[in-house]
Amino acid sequence: MDRELKELTEILRAEKEVFVKYFEKLTDQQKALIENNLDDIRSSVEQISVLAQEAVNLENGRRMVIDRLSKKLGMAAEDVSMGKLLEKFKGPNFEELERLKNTILEIHQKVKTQKNRNELLIEQSMSVIRQTVNYINEARNPKATYANPVSTRRGAKESGALLSRTV
């Protein structure tokens, strides 16, 4: 069981580092979005993707270790989680695991908030781009913008600049 606890501690340390880097890259991405720096945006997307895959791999490793520990302890499969495992034990090894778990959860919350901010910036940028493209299209094709939609209806007569409908 000591081997699993040591392995679990190492995995949590690695997860913490990955999430810290992930948060830093999201912060860099926000700066690049604000500055409209396409090269840095591309770079941050690639780096974030690599870090996300690292996090998934570490999570899978953590789950395997927790499964092994829970089997040794005779825990039911539905009770297998980091929190449930830590409830069973006390001591310095478990205090460190608890601190790491809490730190990861705090960083994860910051990552989630930063990710939401970046997505909002991207949505706002896309909205501005769409509006700009619409304005450009309207400027290039003023006839479509100022055409009277009533003029094509049947029974409409032109009387000067206005159209009137005859009954």
Segments making up each domain of the chain, as ranges: 2-165
User: If pLDDT is split at 50, 70 and 90, which confidence band does 148 have?
Assistant: low
Can you give the pLDDT at residue 85? Answer: 75
In percent, the amount of the chain with pLDDT more than 70 equals 80
Question: Is the per-residue pLDDT at 146 higher than 90?
Answer: no
Q: Which residue has the higher pLDDT, 79 or 25?
A: 25
Can you give the pLDDT at residue 155? Answer: 52
Can you give the pLDDT at residue 29? Answer: 94
Q: How much is the average pLDDT of 103-132?
A: 91
Structure tokens belonging to residue 64:
């395997």
Q: Which residue has the higher pLDDT, 167 or 109?
A: 109
Question: Is the per-residue pLDDT at 163 higher than 50?
Answer: no
Best CA proximity match to 34, nearest among 143, 124, 167 = 124
Best CA proximity match to 97, nearest among 123, 105, 165 = 105
Q: Give CA separation, 42 vs 29, 32, 36, 49, in Å.
A: 9, 9, 11, 11
70 CB contacts (<8 Å, ≥6 apart)?
Answer: 77, 79, 80, 85
Residue 91, sorted as left (phi over 0), alpha (psi -120 to 50) or beta, turns out to be left
